[in-house]
Amino acid sequence: MCYAIPGKVVSVDGDTATLEYFGERKKASVIRNGGITPAAGGYAFAQGGIVVDVITESEAVPMLEAWKERFFELKRIDDGIANAKAEGKNDNGIFFKKIESGMLATRSDMEKVLAAGGADGGDAGALESLFSFANHVRAKALGNSCCVHGIIEFSSHCRNACAYCGLNKNNEKIKRYRMGPGEIVETAVHAARSLGFRALVLQSGEDAYYTDEMLAEIVRRIRERCGVLIFMSIGERPFESYKKLYGAGAYGVLLRFETSNPKLYAVMRPGKRLDGRLALIRRLITAKFVVATGFIVGLPGSTNQDLINDILLTKSLRPGMYSFGPLIPHPETALASAPRVPLSQALKAIAVARIADPDSKILATTALETLDRDGRRKGLLAGANSLMINLTPEAYRRDYEIYPGKAGNSGKTQDTIRDTLQLLHSLGRAPTDLER
Ligand code: SAH
């Protein structure tokens, strides 16, 4: 099983390594205090633009042999799909031509595109052409690269009262759990060593039970035993806490700003302010963390203007990855009776984000899959190029209920991995690292 292809190290220049994947060259940074030192002529794994592991020639060669044929076959499949893009009609047609000529999408272009086709049941032809155009833009900018991250949800305790989230502290109906440090480490090491993951997200509610020191120790113990990119998704902590985690080897953070509308933010996250969260996200990006960020699509009270602002704000942050997905109302939250977000709206958000920021990484999220069983595939065909697989131990998985009916809740991890690989194969996507 393999979620990343090793690259041959062509050169190391200061803190930048150049890796080659079957003739394609990509750059990745070397974090000196990470203890991973690639050397020209050797082999390395990169994730999110960072070298996370080095391996020997005798380990790398059989992996590359196994990937070689498939690598070119996948490219052919993706090219076949992405080149068969539909010609847009009317406004879509004018818009696509403009983008193809190298111009940027304006706010008014985005407005028109989001309005095209309306909600579900609208003009299907217009939507299909939009999605296939976005897919074409993705392929042109980044080829068939696709990131696959594993996520471990280690605690469902939370001190916040977010209006959208089932883990909010006022929900007395869900079972709360915490994984012990040893259990988290073992789950992560198993994911990396036995399942082949090279990027892992450690996620929880905002749970002060885990001190910075405890989390740093968990990260250190994982990094001692495996070369993976670790993302912390633990909500707001002081920047200094995140620095400690970086020092321990967690170079990634997944922290969404949730909505770019400050008024809506204050309603959705009682007692919290958008500028506080954004300041943290900005500081993390400046400090060279790989930051995945984004928003929730379809919060009640949000408009297409808000969605455009959400996309443009994400773009302006230049994050390592876009992470956004549709609201799935949870019955034990203030948004219990919020209208269901049409799948088309969630897909349009992906397509518009892709067209607005062609060389970005965009996740097809679990929420999208929860909305529609085929959501990941549809998302990947509307401009997305990253996926997450839930690796939370099966005993806890159902209790991490940020929203109900979460895709991947039932079923075995092994089956999910197999299905995901089949999906990627059928779409011609290869797990090479991406960088802008
Ligand atoms: N406590 C962490 C992790 C939160 S869970 C933090 O605050 O960052 C990860 C994401 O799930 C949240 O950032 C939010 O965008 C999303 N989420 C929560 N409830 C949701 C719901 N009902 N529907 C869709 N997405 C939701």
Q: Is the pLDDT of residue 72 over 60?
A: yes
365 pocket-lining for ligand 1 (C-beta < 6 Å): no
Work out the mean pLDDT of the chain and round it to a whole number. Answer: 92
- Condensed to tens digits (0 to 9), the pLDDT of residues 184-205 reads 999 999 999 999 899 999 999 9
Q: Is the pLDDT of residue 2 over 60?
A: no
**Which of 152, 169, 256 for mutating ligand 1's site (highest number of atoms within 8 Å of CB)?**
256
Confidence of residue 141 (pLDDT cuts 50, 70, 90): very high
203 pocket-lining for ligand 1 (C-beta < 6 Å): yes
- Decide if 152 contacts 187 (C-beta within 8 A): yes
Q: Whose CA is nearest to atom 18 of ligand 1?
A: 165
Q: Is the pLDDT of residue 90 over 70?
A: yes
- Condensed to tens digits (0 to 9), the pLDDT of residues 231-268 reads 999 999 999 999 999 999 999 999 999 999 999 999 99
231 pocket-lining for ligand 1 (C-beta < 6 Å): no
Q: Is the pLDDT of residue 271 over 60?
A: yes
CA of 160 to the centre of ligand 1 (A): 11
296 pocket-lining for ligand 1 (C-beta < 6 Å): yes
- Condensed to tens digits (0 to 9), the pLDDT of residues 347-380 reads 999 999 999 999 999 999 999 999 999 999 999 9
CA of 237 to the centre of ligand 1 (A): 16
| pLDDT reported for residue 4 | 80
- Condensed to tens digits (0 to 9), the pLDDT of residues 331-343 reads 999 999 999 999 9
Confidence of residue 3 (pLDDT cuts 50, 70, 90): low
- Condensed to tens digits (0 to 9), the pLDDT of residues 307-330 reads 999 999 999 999 999 999 999 999
- Decide if 287 contacts 243 (C-beta within 8 A): yes
- Give, to the nearest 10 degrees, the angle between helix 212-225 and helix 239-248: 20
Q: Whose CA is nearest to atom 8 of ligand 1?
A: 235
State whether residue 263 is helix, strand or coil.
Answer: helix
| pLDDT reported for residue 119 | 47
Confidence of residue 433 (pLDDT cuts 50, 70, 90): low
Mean pLDDT of 116-137: 78
Q: Whose CA is nearest to atom 2 of ligand 1?
A: 235
- Proportion of the chain above pLDDT 90, given as a percent: 79
Give the residue with greater pLDDT, 427 vs 119.
427
Q: Is the pLDDT of residue 118 over 70?
A: no
CA of 164 to the centre of ligand 1 (A): 8
State whether residue 200 is helix, strand or coil.
Answer: strand
327 pocket-lining for ligand 1 (C-beta < 6 Å): yes
Cβ atoms within 10 Å of 287's Cβ, excluding its own: 13
CA dihedral sign of residues 389, 394, 400, 401: positive
Q: Whose CA is nearest to atom 20 of ligand 1?
A: 165
User: Whole-prediction pTM value?
Assistant: 0.96
| pLDDT reported for residue 1 | 37
Q: Whose CA is nearest to atom 13 of ligand 1?
A: 256
Q: Is the pLDDT of residue 121 over 70?
A: no
- Decide if 38 contacts 44 (C-beta within 8 A): yes
Contacts of 269-277 with C-beta under 8 Å, sequence gap 24+, read 269/160, 269/161, 269/162, 269/163, 270/161, 270/163, 271/161, 272/160, 272/236, 276/236, 277/236
Confidence of residue 164 (pLDDT cuts 50, 70, 90): very high
Residue 349 structure tokens: 């958000």
| pLDDT reported for residue 436 | 44
Q: How far apart are CA 306 and CA 312, in angstroms?
A: 10
**Which of 206, 296, 327, 368 for mutating ligand 1's site (highest number of atoms within 8 Å of CB)?**
296
